[in-house]
Structure 1
Amino acid sequence: MKRRQFIKNTAAASAAFSIVPSYVLGGNHIPPSDTLYVASIGVGGRGGGVVRELDATKKVKFVAFCDVDDRSAKGTYQAFPKVTRYKDYRKLYDNHINDIDAFSVGTPDHTHAIISLPFMRAKKHAYVEKPLTHNIYEARLMAKVAAENSIVTQMGNQGSSSDGIRKAQEWIEAGLIGQVSKVDCWTNRPVWPQGLRNITEGEPVPKELDWDLWLGPAQERPYHSAYLPFKWRGWWDFGTGGLGDMGCHIMETPFKTLNLGSPYEAEASCTTVWAGDFVEANYNTACPPSSIVRLKFKNEAHGEVGLNWYDGGIMPDLPDELKDGEMIGDWSGGSVFYGSKGILVTDCYSGNPRLLPSERMKEFIEPEARIPRIKDGHANNWVEGCLNGTPTSSPFSYAGPLTESVLMGNLAIKAFQYKVLQDGKTANDWAPFDYPGRRKLFWDGPNMRVTNYEKANDWVTREYRKGWEVK
């Protein structure tokens, strides 16, 4: 063999060997080019769904699972009895960081970033459920770390890999509804108790749950069943409300099809919950049971675009072109695009588009499909990205800014909700709070700051419990 060819072959062999996890060295396994070795953190609830979707690709080998609650994880543990289990993701990291190619995170929102960042900095490919993070600072940091380490990433907003959202983009870019000036988005969430009174007393911690690990970066408090297993979404310290839950699904269609970028203004109004006569039920701790959020974007192709969000049973105005028996969206929600030449409606998860009035669907010629379709779903798209370099539908370079826009709406909700007990008053006194009223927030995206209400900048990040800081 000639020296040049020998060096070329040796370099190729070395590169191939470097991606083999140490986990595969002790047994007979499918070559790493065909198998992705994965650790999954948070494997109950939606996290268990991610595990099933990854397993369905037939290209994943699970090295380890981690969940702080054996009750929630029970189904996954029974389905994969031979996979090593942990309660503390840090122990999984210490024992298996050299055994894996990638990881998935399906935990509550407030622990996405603290769990993901160490694995990402170790150059492990990342699949993280939506919303990508609990706050805007974390979303910006996750996108930055992903870029610095050249890893393959995917946020778990499954509709991003649908044919429907690609159709909607092709129709809008073909000018079927002209310039879009307004989009109304709605969801039926929350479908869990929300707007509850602040909890001050605790309950016994279930033996299957590690409560300290579940709290993670949130401040210490007693365990209470009002938080688990799903109701954490309605508490600001853990979840991001109906908007955080569904915004990355529903707002993604206008975000992608209109190339919206960062909003420059946000405003909200919300339902107030009363615990007694003139006594409010929550004091800045619980997400409201319903809200309306108005975001404004500037866009080169469409000019100024207003995006309005409705949740908790509040619906946008129905277009006059909508006939009796016709729906906007589906059971979980949807979007209505108002253009200079017509109206387009899309479903929640699939993004499937329809034109209004419905007669237009009979007469129009669908634009040629030019955006590549995703085969075999969102999870498989990520696995193929890790194994073969296939572009992913929702990489953190895209999912981070989308999450920021969603969470900007939550800044407006918190600004509307925020109240301060006045000196000498108690929660039972009439008018005990300083009400800021309905407040517009002006957002400086490049500098990640609200420019007109300093308190809101506290919510761009959070106060992390000692030892759980995100850096």
Structure 2
Amino acid sequence: MSKKVENSGVTRRDFLQKGAAAAVGSFFIVPRHVLGKGYRAPSDKLNIAGIGIGGKGFSDTNNAWNNGAENMVALCDVDWIQGKRNFEKHPNAKKYKDFRVMFDEMGKSIDAVTVSTADHQHAVIAMAAMQLGKHVYVQKPLTHDIYEARMLTEAARKYKVVSQMGNQGASNPGQQQMVDWFNKGLIGNVKEVQVWTNRPVWPQGIPVPTSKADVPQDIDWDLWVGTADWVDYSPAWHPFKWRGWWNFGTGALGDMGCHLIDPPFRVLGLGYPTEVEASVGQVFLKDWTPEYIPEGCPPSSRVQLKFPATAKNKSEVTMVWHDGGLRPFHPEWIPANEPLGEPDSSNGAMLIGDKGVMTCATYGLNPKIYLKNGTKMEMPKDSFKTKYTSMPEFGHQVAWTDACKAGFNSKEHKALTSSFDYAGPLTETVLMGNLAIRSYNLRTANADGKGFTYPGRKKMLWDGKSMKITNFDEANQFVKRDYRGNWKLV
């Protein structure tokens, strides 16, 4: 693991500026206007390294790179097959498989890092980057475990780095419109929130694969497994299909929760939930006996979370999550022929207040209000438009790179829509749902040898400050996992 480097709080840009001022008697600084309109001095460009550069990592790195507005200096992926397209796009970027080697060799020349690996590696990579004083952009969910999310949130403050989670809908003006509508009191106090998705769209709720396969030549499988429990290589795990296995992924809720729970979480100013309860779809064998698959995420689930009243919303809130194609029914004030959320009602969120209902699709798109008096409101064209909104993914990555150059205490950093101060508690809420889902199928054999008892199938009470279920201790094993081998989060 890379050695820790004390963060002095001095950025590369600060160093260059201060160094230039100190040496003013030694050489002449050419004013920018002399260099030509639109010219960007090399010191104004961010040196970016991408870790996990295939799939979503391709858009994360290249949106941050912004057509050459920044420098892409290093690209790292344990799978060079998946990374090929990015390597070809940036032939001058140095190629790595191990992020630790990259940091050891290039740490001094890297300013900021994007992390878009499988969920189970997010925390150790982001922590290593922050300890070196690197700004970090980390794909959603921020982490695999609740404990990891808390540690990254605290580390971003400690090391004074600019952070952003990759739930790009947070930068969608539609979410700001929803906040504005709610702040004006249009739907009143909210007591109920419904959130749903059609995910999983990958294999889930299936028996654990037992077949082995040869590791492809360009994959370092030991590095890919990383902090997770060891399994032999199989195309059933990688690429993409890892999402349905707790060893690596966080299921439908982890995949889409940070997108769909984000709007109500932001609008209502929610924090840690106080209780959680779940039920899951079952998997059956050929003789119709239930199958117990603790290693895998279920084919469908429903999770209920409860939140205390906030300064913004004077009522306690019950939030219900549905996945696997399950969705809520039409509330009273939405006409029968109107879709919920997406045009096909497959994904969405609803905030049900005492004066009306507010809805949106994935990423906070297409926000609407249906008032008790029959009035329907939609977002005005170009409402809350910013300089970023015409960019890919609402400029979510470019806003982050601008904040990196401005610094930790800048207004640009404070304006980010998903810095870890916000994204950490949001991720903990999402992962709280997974804690309930995994606890649901915990079982113990009955003393008489006939059947099992499922003690986790109950309402569980959560102490957010202490990160602990207070009425079912066995569930707390899902707050923090043990890492394999010498991997540590320090």
Q: Normalised by the size of structure 2, how large is the TM-score?
A: 0.85
Letter matched to residue 327 of structure 2:
M
Partner of 1:322: 334
Q: Say whether residues 1:313 and 2:325 are aligned partners.
A: yes
Q: After superposition, give the CA deviation of every residue in 1:404-454 in whole Å (9 maximum; x if it has no partner).
A: 0000011110111223466897xxxx73x4322621111001111110111
Tell me how far 1:100 sits from its aligned partner. Answer: 0.8
Q: Say whether residues 1:355 and 2:356 are aligned partners.
A: no
Q: Say whether residues 1:294 and 2:308 are aligned partners.
A: no
Matches within 5 A, 1:124-143: 124-143=134-153
Letter matched to residue 432 of structure 2:
M
Q: After superposition, give the CA deviation of every residue in 1:148-206 in whole Å (9 maximum; x if it has no partner).
A: 01111000000111100000001011100000000100011111110111234422211
Partner of 1:115: 125
Tell me how far 1:14 sits from its aligned partner. Answer: 5.0
Partner of 2:348: 334
Cα distance in 1 between the residues matched to 2:276 and 2:41: 50
Letter matched to residue 465 of structure 1:
R
1:220 pairs with one of 227, 230, 241: 230
Q: Is the 8 A contact 1:71 1:208 kept in 2?
A: yes
Q: Is the 8 A contact 1:263 1:405 kept in 2?
A: yes
Q: Is the 8 A contact 1:110 1:237 kept in 2?
A: yes
Q: Is the 8 A contact 1:59 1:383 kept in 2?
A: no
Q: Say whether residues 1:454 and 2:476 are aligned partners.
A: no
Q: 1:380 to 1:214 in 2, by over 3 A?
A: same
Q: 1:57 to 1:323 in 2, by over 3 A?
A: farther
Tell me how far 1:58 sits from its aligned partner. Answer: 3.7
Partner of 1:382: 400
Q: Say whether residues 1:408 and 2:432 are aligned partners.
A: yes
SS state at 1:53 partner: helix
Tell me how far 1:76 sits from its aligned partner. Answer: 1.1
Cα distance in 2 between the residues matched to 1:424 and 1:97: 60
Q: Is the 8 A contact 1:198 1:281 kept in 2?
A: no
SS state at 1:127 partner: strand
Tell me how far 1:280 sits from its aligned partner. Answer: 3.9
SS state at 2:321 partner: strand
Q: 1:422 to 1:115 in 2, by over 3 A?
A: farther
Q: Is the 8 A contact 1:123 1:150 kept in 2?
A: yes
Q: Is the 8 A contact 1:421 1:434 kept in 2?
A: yes
Q: 1:16 to 1:423 in 2, by over 3 A?
A: farther
SS state at 1:303 partner: coil
Alignment RMSD, CA only? 2.6
Cα distance in 1 between the residues matched to 2:433 and 2:90: 39
Q: 1:82 to 1:373 in 2, by over 3 A?
A: closer
2:112 pairs with one of 87, 92, 102: 102
Q: Is the 8 A contact 1:195 1:281 kept in 2?
A: no
Q: 1:162 to 1:424 in 2, by over 3 A?
A: same
SS state at 1:181 partner: strand
Matches within 5 A, 1:16-165: 16=17, 30-31=40-41, 33-56=43-66, 58-165=68-175
Cα distance in 2 between the residues matched to 1:261 and 1:14: 38
Cα distance in 1 between the residues matched to 2:315 and 2:474: 30
Alignment gaps of 5+ in structure 1: 1-11, 20-27
Tell me how far 1:337 sits from its aligned partner. Answer: 1.0
Q: After superposition, give the CA deviation of every residue in 1:299-335 in whole Å (9 maximum; x if it has no partner).
A: 2333210010000011111223333442111166111
Q: 1:451 to 1:220 in 2, by over 3 A?
A: same
Q: 1:279 to 1:205 in 2, by over 3 A?
A: farther
Letter matched to residue 376 of structure 2:
M
Cα distance in 1 between the residues matched to 2:316 and 2:15: 53
Partner of 1:24: none
Runs of 4 or more consecutive aligned structure 1 residues displaced over 6 Å after TM superposition: 368-373, 422-425
Comparing 321-330 with 405-414, greater Cα deviation is found at 321-330
Comparing 215-224 with 197-206, greater Cα deviation is found at 197-206
Cα distance in 2 between the residues matched to 1:322 and 1:349: 21
Tell me how far 1:244 sits from its aligned partner. Answer: 0.4
Q: 1:13 to 1:469 in 2, by over 3 A?
A: closer
Letter matched to residue 451 of structure 1:
T
Q: Is the 8 A contact 1:217 1:464 kept in 2?
A: yes
Q: Is the 8 A contact 1:113 1:470 kept in 2?
A: yes
Q: Is the 8 A contact 2:247 2:295 kept in 1?
A: yes
Letter matched to residue 352 of structure 2:
Y
Q: 1:349 to 1:321 in 2, by over 3 A?
A: same
Tell me how far 1:346 sits from its aligned partner. Answer: 1.1
Provide the identity percentage.
42
Q: After superposition, give the CA deviation of every residue in 1:115-153 in whole Å (9 maximum; x if it has no partner).
A: 111110111100000000000000000001100011110
Letter matched to residue 364 of structure 2:
S
Tell me how far 1:219 sits from its aligned partner. Answer: 1.1
Q: Is the 8 A contact 2:77 2:83 kept in 1?
A: yes
Comparing 129-138 with 279-288, greater Cα deviation is found at 279-288
Partner of 1:7: none
Partner of 2:23: none
Tell me how far 1:220 sits from its aligned partner. Answer: 1.1
Cα distance in 2 between the residues matched to 1:82 and 1:198: 41
Letter matched to residue 370 of structure 2:
L
Q: Is the 8 A contact 2:187 2:354 kept in 1?
A: yes
Letter matched to residue 221 of structure 1:
V
Partner of 2:463: 444
Comparing 61-70 with 414-423, greater Cα deviation is found at 414-423
Q: Is the 8 A contact 2:177 2:379 kept in 1?
A: no
Q: 1:13 to 1:439 in 2, by over 3 A?
A: closer
Q: Is the 8 A contact 1:253 1:351 kept in 2?
A: no
Q: Say whether residues 1:392 and 2:388 are aligned partners.
A: no
Partner of 1:5: none
Q: 1:370 to 1:83 in 2, by over 3 A?
A: closer
Q: Is the 8 A contact 2:292 2:441 kept in 1?
A: no
Q: 1:281 to 1:79 in 2, by over 3 A?
A: farther
Matches within 5 A, 1:244-323: 244-300=254-310, 301-323=313-335
Tell me how far 1:57 sits from its aligned partner. Answer: 5.6
